[in-house]
Amino acid sequence: LNRRLAEFGTTIFAEMSALAVRTGSINLGQGFPDTDGPEEVREAAVRALRDGRGNQYPPGPGVPELRSAVAAHQLRRYGLSYDPDTEVLVTAGATEAIAASLLALLEPGDEVIALEPYYDSYAACIAMAGGKRVPVTLRPDGGSFRLDLDELRDAVTDRTRLLLINTPHNPTGTVLTREELTAIARLAVERDLLVVTDEVYEHLVFDGAEHLPLAAFPGMRERTVTISSSGKTFSFTGWKVGWVTASPGLVAAVRSAKQFLTYVSSGPFQYAVAEALALPESYFTAFREDLRAKRDLLAAGLAEAGFTVFRPAGTYFVTTDIRPLGESDGVAFCRSLPERAGVVAIPNAVFYDHREEGAPFVRFAFCKRTSVLEEAVRRLKTL
Ligand code: PMP
Ligand code: GLN
């Protein structure tokens, strides 16, 4: 393994899911639902397979039906207009979109500012692209993790090439506010930075919190690469259909990298996701409402079990502080939790460069059946 990748080892998600299987624990670690997405969308995939749509290499940018559906979604939800032919690119999940964007846009030595704790692939992809990550830490503030805008501003140097933003934010559940996004946009314009924004949890927001796409802020349409995915919104994490929307120059750049990573992906599933994106609003509302109830169940249970709970406004993760349980090391806590309670969780420390900042925080996923969450809570109360 080369020096660029050596520090990353195996992803925490693979490690923890293997631990869950080995110990027969309830897996609230890796974020994937334990029920499948809408039946009509699965049927659409079956139809595409059967009718031979997408069984051979689909077009490099993605099938026209899906590119049009993505553009229609951005317009309908956010009033953002993208040309499906030149401003939309289909990728192998958001994961490939992140990799291709960073590989396409960074020169060796360029600095990338990322919100810490950050999703684990960011650090590895910045490293593969020869960039240098500059973390800006979100810290607990009034019940949620917030961005210090002065710190963000101070992190920008002459070598900063891009801001890598994630809202709703994994693992903290923070949804960036209009004020925070306005400040980020102003900074990007003022310092002439590109922005890559990972919005895979765009539909998973609760309690009236609103997901605002960065591309909609003044001066951002031309400098922003927006990434999303069908994995979270439609509960098909195994399909690996994601997409990028951006100006033609940026999409062409990302496509240049993508063509040598996977060339194309997931032919039949692209047709099915095109249909998913056109589902009526009632699908999205019901999905959100179901997750909100699960969040409330798990958040209340974790609080009763003695954790400090940061109630998430978005995503399907709850971050907790384990110090009230007399613990301080989240990594050790998560390694022993399967044995002690038959539950698997993720230590947030692995998403930090400043490990000590993340040490006491542990993430639990609530995209699981109610009975599974109830059993997990019962077990955690024995701690
Ligand atoms: N970004 C974030 C913040 C995520 O949580 C995930 C899901 N693990 C991804 C990207 C990857 O999405 P996909 O499964 O579509 O590759
Ligand atoms: N995004 C999911 C999570 O944060 C898992 C992704 C993965 O396994 N790479 O749990």
Ligand 1 centre to CA of 196 (Å) is: 14
Task: Tell me, yes or no, whether 20 and 129 share the same domain.
Answer: no
Task: Tell me, yes or no, whether 150 and 100 share the same domain.
Answer: yes
Q: Is the CB of 117 under 6 A from ligand 1?
A: no
pLDDT less than 70: residues of the chain = none
CATH number of the CATH domain containing 340: 3.90.1150.10
Q: What CA–CA distance (Å, rounded) separates 313 from 321?
A: 17
Which domain-ending residue is among 277, 309, 343?
Answer: 277
Q: What CA–CA distance (Å, rounded) separates 253 from 368?
A: 38
What backbone torsions phi and psi does residue 183 show, to the nearest 5 degrees?
-65, -40
Ligand 1 centre to CA of 228 (Å) is: 8
Q: Note the pLDDT of residue 9.
A: 85
Q: Among the atoms of ligand 2, which is closest to the Cα of residue 200?
A: 1
Give the range of the structural domain holding residue 32, as residue numbers without chain letter: 3-37+282-380
E runs forming strands in the chain: 26-27, 88-91, 111-116, 132-137, 139-141, 144-146, 160-166, 194-198, 224-229, 242-245, 308-310, 317-321, 343-344, 346-347, 361-365
Task: Tell me, yes or no, whether 29 and 50 share the same domain.
Answer: no
Q: Is the CB of 198 under 6 A from ligand 1?
A: yes
Q: Note the pLDDT of residue 303.
A: 98
Q: Is the CB of 202 under 6 A from ligand 1?
A: no
Q: Note the pLDDT of residue 41.
A: 98
Which domain-ending residue is among 277, 295, 321?
Answer: 277
Task: Tell me, yes or no, whether 66 and 159 share the same domain.
Answer: yes
Structure token pair of residue 274: 């095109």
Q: Which ligand places an atom closest to the C-alpha of 364? A: 2
Cis peptide before 58 (omega within 30 of 0): no
Pocket test of ligand 2: the residue of 8, 12, 13, 227 to mutate, having most ligand atoms within 8 Å of its CB, is 13
Q: Is the CB of 118 under 6 A from ligand 1?
A: no
Ligand 2 centre to CA of 13 (Å) is: 6
| Residue closest to 223 by CA, chosen among 188, 199, 254, 266 | 188
Ligand 2, residues at Cβ distance < 6 Å: 11, 13, 30-31, 170
Q: Note the pLDDT of residue 313.
A: 98
Q: Note the pLDDT of residue 10.
A: 87
Q: Is the CB of 27 under 6 A from ligand 1?
A: no
Task: Tell me, yes or no, whether 20 and 151 share the same domain.
Answer: no
Query: Is the pTM for the entire model greater than 0.95?
Result: yes
Task: Tell me, yes or no, whether 119 and 165 share the same domain.
Answer: yes
Looking at the predicted complex, does its ipTM rise above 0.90?
Answer: yes
Q: Given CA atoms 351, 355, 358, 360 in this order, what sign does their dihedral have?
A: positive
Q: Note the pLDDT of residue 355.
A: 95
**Strand 111-116 with 160-166, pairing:** parallel
Ligand 1 centre to CA of 101 (Å) is: 14
Task: Tell me, yes or no, whether 70 and 129 share the same domain.
Answer: yes
Q: Among the atoms of ligand 2, which is closest to the Cα of residue 170?
A: 4
Q: How far is CA 297 from CA 133, 321, 346, 367, in A?
A: 36, 17, 19, 11
Ligand 1 centre to CA of 200 (Å) is: 6
CATH number of the CATH domain containing 203: 3.40.640.10
Q: Among the atoms of ligand 2, which is closest to the Cα of residue 231?
A: 1
Q: Based on the structure, what is the number of domains in the chain? A: 2
Residue keyed to tokens 């909609």: 216
| Residue closest to 133 by CA, chosen among 105, 163, 103, 104 | 163
Task: Tell me, yes or no, whether 240 and 336 share the same domain.
Answer: no
**Strand 160-166 with 194-198, pairing:** parallel
Q: Is the CB of 31 under 6 A from ligand 1?
A: yes
Task: Tell me, yes or no, whether 258 and 291 share the same domain.
Answer: no
Going by CA atoms, what residue is nearest to atom 3 of ligand 2? 31
Q: Which ligand places an atom closest to the C-alpha of 229? A: 1
Q: CB–CB of 85/70 below 8 Å?
A: no
Task: Tell me, yes or no, whether 230 and 253 share the same domain.
Answer: yes
Task: Tell me, yes or no, whether 249 and 353 share the same domain.
Answer: no
Task: List, in sequence order, the alpha helices (H) in 326-369.
Answer: 330-341, 355-358
Task: Tell me, yes or no, whether 19 and 152 share the same domain.
Answer: no
Q: What CA–CA distance (Å, rounded) separates 78 from 15?
A: 37
Say which DSSP state 313 is in: S
Q: Is the CB of 160 under 6 A from ligand 1?
A: no
Ligand 1 centre to CA of 198 (Å) is: 8
Q: What CA–CA distance (Å, rounded) separates 66 from 278?
A: 10
Pocket test of ligand 1: the residue of 232, 241, 243, 366 to mutate, having most ligand atoms within 8 Å of its CB, is 232
